[in-house]
Chain A
């Protein structure tokens, strides 16, 4: 009986560990870790991930100021069918702010990503609340590697 109890505890522990691993893993599912030969590349892509995470947080909390540091001199925006084109950082800030205000965010999660030497892309699901309905938009963000830092090249919301 006693042994059974221990077995049960062990199973529960393993189960939780597994769930925990699963959960922690599922958070990072969108970012597939790869092995890099050089330390420079490792840092470079770690920065890239960090940039995406920060942008993701900005979107998740509808806080445009977390995204603004990553704007280049021009950002290509495509928001549904309304806004499309190259915008200045100021414009981008106001447009995104406008978008966040009109589509109150429920949650945002990165879904998948892709990266190379000078480019990185990630797309995610943006759940928002409008007129009492919860709907989703796809947000994809592409980053460009310029002067040792990752800056936003495009933001596409469909």
Chain B
């Protein structure tokens, strides 16, 4: 007991010490933070200067590193002798060959010019070098410069190429110029998903959290900036090239003291939050430590929940770990992915939900471990009504769990903004938030399953009394319970009320009940068989995860598709709204914002800026973030377009927009500034009601083409000597309001940052959108399908006749496929509006089996990957623990079954994995081949088309007039049919683009107008018939195919190309889907194989393991053992012979026992006779002496009578004792085995024997509730025997005047109940110790030597152990050891 206390104190002291230390360190951190703040305050100027300098140095060095890399690459290229020779020989083909030998050629843009400054070789994008720069390089100087081309910024290195052959020297000049460029920055709003993390500005912002700006404009003069107000707040630094020339400026914002101090404080508060977290952990350890001391499992559970909840809120208070994780760049704590205000902000974001789900899982695991513990305990209350109450409560919790779980998953799906159906990737690596969401769902599902199992186990425990002692029913009681739950579940469905609504459909509920039933059955069986069963084993974990993998995707899919109705409605209403006012507002505010921008006027004066001007305006305006087909057009004063950008030119025709806008603005002076007249088509009746319509912008609606456009003159300049003002240009903005905006989004997505903002992305599959006007189909994304809905229109009108909300959901059967459609009638806004009423229908497939399978497999693969990662961590942990063990303890035992299992798995699973890997490659290859073939056939058709369309095409003219330096003067030879096919086709003449189906890709600079260097080399120089390559647009990789066009004389007249820009998503989707199906099926097969292999290895190894266990039992003396086996093979025979052997052994043992017993009886009889004889002789003598005295009338007769009487009574007492001991030894009383508390028995025994004050008896109890199974009276007798022996041993020694004491201590550890009885009596010698438990051995004069034999028998029968240690004249120590909870009857 003292030792136990000491142990407790040591652990407690350690934990408290660490906690105190942490508390002090928090205080210290806080003080240090304050000290830092005051230091910063005092030395701000110095700190600010140092910090700015360090940032400047970092930025400059980062910039220099880009420069150096490019210079180094140029030098490397020029070291290539083969390349130099080829350039010297003017051999383009060989030059390309030599160039492509370099590994890093794809990371750079390269141009090589010959001494006549003609482009000789190129790779990558166009660099547009200045002729002055080229001349300078040609004259031998090597220098670096920075160029802004479109929205890209490049660092460009000009290197003169050394002259190779003396005879080709060009008047002292170099042999050519090598221009290499590396992308260093991406600007404007085009920073879309492909360029999100690219560029030097981004790098610096990520590193220092400051917005550094660069200005690489050539000829910029510092004086231009001196009066700029922004410069006052920023520090300007010059960026120089290797020659010391200024290339541009860098502006670093001046450090703000307050924000710097805040930053420092923030860092310290981060540290403090970590410290608080660690402190919280230690306090949690302390609490758990004390929790173990509480006996009531219920209170323990409640305390644990409280502890976790308090910790969670404490973390929330100190922003742990959201602050630290957010600062590392993972934005799972942003509410944009998921946010909910349930549970007082416990799930404010996905990260918090994730952490909470882990904590809830921990609580539930703890609770189930308590439930399993309590399962082994005797029921506390024996009243039947208490049992019925507990069972009812558990059933209620069981079904409540379904309701809560369904609700939680629904809330997760409804409140999250994630794309659950991303078909481009198997694992959502592009969307890390989805990984956390799916993990959180998995954890919550495991928690849910654990709650179900806990309920079922408790019901099983408390219902066992009702099943009686029928073993069959007892064994399968779990199945019966789940059958009952199943029936209750079905009954609940019948009572379709709000109270019985369980958030999950009946089928899913049944599936979950079956799965949890199987798991509970397994756990209950294990609980019965293994007394040390723990739920936290790898096998149990795997089984629970497997069950979750089966039902979680089904539940999620169910919830996602149920949410779909909401999005279907939202989409339909959005489309029907037409949003006239919104578009008007958008156009007018964009016009206002753009025209207010002073740089627009400057840009308009610079003709070089024209090509990309419209695109830049578009990216900077709000139009960029709208779900609309929009276009920006810039016109010169004469109304001629100079620059335009149109998202979808095939839908919003540029020419119509411009002419419509111009037509309207010309009408304007003739009429007063009243929108109602300017815009005759305006549907609103506001003009009637409003006395002064305040709109100043000119917004016109074109009903025919379904677009709105706005026009605004730019920069009115005063004309000399005149009151008139001159306009320098017009800005036209157009937006299409057609429902088709929602249909073809692909072209828009290319230019935008996000795709998740699109409503349609939230639907599980692509919807069919139809627009009906007066019962006629006027717009559709799938005409055949849309026509099928015409017949439902009247029914719809009928159904919404009396309703205010003219919309409804309907299910239609079309082409044997069920579609759910949302119908919305868009009624005219006013009575004056004569426009026909329109009905919009958005339809989507219902019960899409492919979709279900895809989602199931996708989640399945995700869970498998997570499981494998977990297993790897587990193995690493186990290995570490194993390595830390001492050398002698390091043994890994692989049993027969494990070996069998592993060998089966190796033989069966490995081929499947190999096959899966092979299939993956095969599918990828096939997919690529398929798209390549498709591209080739497409290109063939296009080649024919181009040849037919322009038989007299003057290619040479196109070459010269085609596109200039920045020009996009492109012939439009591709008709509307091409644009509708959503395939991109381009025609190149020589190296220049002359015609394309998607101008906007080139106007936005996403693609280069020059043919790729590789393609030119392969097609023009190597004369290949077809060439395909992968090209990168930021992080998007697209497939590009090229095909040459020859004239009748076999001269190359052009190159036709096609890029999968818009279709790349589709291609990735198809590949992913194929892979998901393949991997999904393979993994399911592997899972089944593992199960089959498990069963097989179990069947084969089980008899052998049984035999081995039986042999062990036999060696321990259990000859009753028999092994059951139904197999007829060698193992069966082995089992039979074993059984035969044990039977033989049993028989011979019985015979031996009989003989032994007879001999023992003989011995006993002899001994008893002898013992009886002993008192009989003195009795006989006494009686003779009495008779003699009586017959001789002795005068002393009275005293003789008294002596004789005493003697005889004494002897009779002796005889009685002999008889009692004999019967005690011989009799086998019926035992009453039950859980007994030995501490209580010891207390009785000590009270009984402590009456004598000479010897002190001390009892140290373990105070444990653990019990031992045995007979209470027998145990008491055994303990009395031992303690009495100790008392007697001391009694013998007391003569030597030594104080006697006996200490009795009980300890519960490792599942054993141990009693230590120590005395300081006379002790025993070695011989006595040896024969201590032999019958009739006794050192005492009185007694038969049967006491200890009886004691040993009692302990042995309880499967206990007794050990005796003794030193003569010092004392004896007896240890009795029992197993806690042992059911001798069941084994």
Q: Which of A115-144 contact B (CB under 8 A)?
A: 115-121, 123, 130-133, 138, 140, 142
Contact: B686 with A90, CB < 8 Å?
Answer: no
- Would you call B227 an interface residue if the criterion is a C-beta within 8 Å of the partner chain's C-beta atoms? no
With A91-B415, A116-B684, A158-B622 in contact, do A83 and B336 touch (Cβ < 8 Å)? yes
- Would you call B791 an interface residue if the criterion is a C-beta within 8 Å of the partner chain's C-beta atoms? no
For residue B257, which residues in chain A have a CB less than 8 angstroms away from its CB? 132
Contact: A117 with B414, CB < 8 Å?
Answer: no
Give CA–CA (A140, B759) in the complex, Å.
Answer: 20
- Would you call A114 an interface residue if the criterion is a C-beta within 8 Å of the partner chain's C-beta atoms? yes
- Would you call A81 an interface residue if the criterion is a C-beta within 8 Å of the partner chain's C-beta atoms? yes
For residue B622, which residues in chain A have a CB less than 8 angstroms away from its CB? 140, 156, 158
Contact: A132 with B581, CB < 8 Å?
Answer: no
With A84-B753, A121-B582 in contact, do A41 and B759 touch (Cβ < 8 Å)? no
Contact: B691 with A34, CB < 8 Å?
Answer: yes
Q: Which of A35, A83, A93 contacts B691 (CB 8 A)?
A: A35
What is the 8 Å Cβ interface bit string for chain B, positions 791-803, against chain A (1 contact, 0 not)? 0000000000000
Q: With CB as the reference atom, state the residue of chain A lying closest to B686.
A: A116
Give CA–CA (A120, B830) in the complex, Å.
Answer: 17
Contact: A98 with B259, CB < 8 Å?
Answer: no
With A32-B694, A94-B335, A131-B253 in contact, do A88 and B582 touch (Cβ < 8 Å)? no
Contact: A88 with B339, CB < 8 Å?
Answer: yes
Give CA–CA (A112, B593) in the complex, Å.
Answer: 12
Which candidate, B105-113, B584-592, B944-952, is the interface stretch facing chain A?
B584-592
- Would you call A82 an interface residue if the criterion is a C-beta within 8 Å of the partner chain's C-beta atoms? yes
Contact: A86 with B584, CB < 8 Å?
Answer: no
Contact: A93 with B689, CB < 8 Å?
Answer: no
Q: Which of B566-590 contact A (CB under 8 A)?
A: 566, 570, 577, 579-582, 584-585, 588-589
- Would you call B757 an interface residue if the criterion is a C-beta within 8 Å of the partner chain's C-beta atoms? yes
Give CA–CA (A154, B564) in the complex, Å.
Answer: 21
Give CA–CA (A112, B348) in the complex, Å.
Answer: 34
Contact: A90 with B415, CB < 8 Å?
Answer: yes
- Would you call B213 an interface residue if the criterion is a C-beta within 8 Å of the partner chain's C-beta atoms? no
What is the 8 Å Cβ interface bit string for chain B, positions 667-686, against chain A (1 contact, 0 not)? 00000000000000000101
What is the 8 Å Cβ interface bit string for chain B, positions 756-780, against chain A (1 contact, 0 not)? 1111001000000000000000000
What is the 8 Å Cβ interface bit string for chain B, positions 818-850, against chain A (1 contact, 0 not)? 000000000001100000000000000000000
Give CA–CA (A123, B414) in the complex, Å.
Answer: 30
- Would you call A5 an interface residue if the criterion is a C-beta within 8 Å of the partner chain's C-beta atoms? no
Q: Which of B570, B754, B830 contacts A84 (CB 8 A)?
A: B754
Contact: A34 with B336, CB < 8 Å?
Answer: no
With A94-B335, A114-B585, A140-B589 in contact, do A86 and B829 touch (Cβ < 8 Å)? no
For residue B348, which residues in chain A have a CB less than 8 angstroms away from its CB? 94
Q: Which of B690, B692, B754 contacts A85 (CB 8 A)?
A: B754
Contact: B829 with A85, CB < 8 Å?
Answer: no
- Would you call B70 an interface residue if the criterion is a C-beta within 8 Å of the partner chain's C-beta atoms? no
Contact: A91 with B581, CB < 8 Å?
Answer: no
What is the 8 Å Cβ interface bit string for chain A, positions 66-88, against chain B (1 contact, 0 not)? 00000001101010011111111
Contact: A90 with B341, CB < 8 Å?
Answer: yes
Q: With CB as the reference atom, state the residue of chain A lying closest to B752.
A: A84
Contact: B584 with A91, CB < 8 Å?
Answer: no
- Would you call B338 an interface residue if the criterion is a C-beta within 8 Å of the partner chain's C-beta atoms? yes
For residue B258, which residues in chain A have a CB less than 8 angstroms away from its CB? 132
In the assembled complex, the CB of B1070 is this many whole angstroms from the nearest CB of chain A, namely: 26
Contact: A74 with B570, CB < 8 Å?
Answer: yes
- Would you call B191 an interface residue if the criterion is a C-beta within 8 Å of the partner chain's C-beta atoms? yes
Give CA–CA (A132, B874) in the complex, Å.
Answer: 50
- Would you call B233 an interface residue if the criterion is a C-beta within 8 Å of the partner chain's C-beta atoms? yes
Q: Which of B1094-1112 contact A (CB under 8 A)?
A: none
Contact: A118 with B335, CB < 8 Å?
Answer: no
- Would you call B986 an interface residue if the criterion is a C-beta within 8 Å of the partner chain's C-beta atoms? no
Give CA–CA (A74, B754) in the complex, Å.
Answer: 18
Q: With CB as the reference atom, state the residue of chain A lying closest to B584.
A: A114
Q: Which of A73, A85, A142 contacts B757 (CB 8 A)?
A: A85
With A95-B336, A132-B259 in contact, do A86 and B694 touch (Cβ < 8 Å)? no
In the assembled complex, the CB of B754 is this many whole angstroms from the nearest CB of chain A, namely: 5
Q: Which of B339, B585, B684 contacts A117 (CB 8 A)?
A: B684
Q: Which of B233, B335, B341 contacts A133 (CB 8 A)?
A: B233
For residue B417, which residues in chain A have a CB less than 8 angstroms away from its CB? 85-87, 91
Contact: A118 with B829, CB < 8 Å?
Answer: yes
Give CA–CA (A87, B339) in the complex, Å.
Answer: 9
Q: With CB as the reference atom, state the residue of chain A lying closest to B345.
A: A94
- Interface hub of A41, A114, A140 (most chain B Cβ within 10 A): A114
- Would you call A37 an interface residue if the criterion is a C-beta within 8 Å of the partner chain's C-beta atoms? yes
With A36-B689, A94-B348 in contact, do A87 and B582 touch (Cβ < 8 Å)? no
Contact: A116 with B580, CB < 8 Å?
Answer: yes
Q: Which of B259, B349, B756, B830 contacts A131 (CB 8 A)?
A: B259
Give CA–CA (A115, B693) in the complex, Å.
Answer: 11
For residue B686, which residues in chain A have a CB less than 8 angstroms away from its CB? 34, 116
Give CA–CA (A41, B830) in the complex, Å.
Answer: 13
Give CA–CA (A15, B581) in the complex, Å.
Answer: 40
Contact: A91 with B339, CB < 8 Å?
Answer: yes
Give CA–CA (A119, B577) in the complex, Å.
Answer: 10
Q: Which of A73, A83, A94, A121 contacts B581 (CB 8 A)?
A: A121
Q: Which of B253, B259, B336, B691 contacts A82 (CB 8 A)?
A: B336
Give CA–CA (A35, B829) in the complex, Å.
Answer: 19
With A95-B335, A133-B256 in contact, do A81 and B191 touch (Cβ < 8 Å)? yes
A sample of 13 cross-chain residue pairs with beta-carbon separation below 8 angstroms, ordered by A number, consists of A35-B689, A35-B690, A73-B566, A83-B334, A84-B753, A84-B754, A86-B570, A91-B417, A94-B335, A116-B686, A116-B829, A117-B830, A142-B582
The 8 closest A-B pairs by CB, nearest first: A132-B256, A94-B335, A85-B757, A119-B581, A91-B339, A34-B690, A116-B581, A94-B339
Given contacts A85-B758, A86-B762, 15 further A-B contacts (CB under 8 A): A37-B689, A74-B570, A84-B625, A85-B756, A86-B417, A88-B415, A91-B335, A94-B335, A94-B349, A95-B334, A98-B334, A116-B829, A117-B684, A133-B256, A158-B622
Interface residues of B (CB under 8 A from A): 189, 191, 210, 233, 253, 256-259, 334-336, 338-341, 348-349, 414-415, 417, 566, 570, 577, 579-582, 584-585, 588-589, 593, 622, 625, 684, 686, 688-692, 694-695, 753-754, 756-759, 762, 829-830
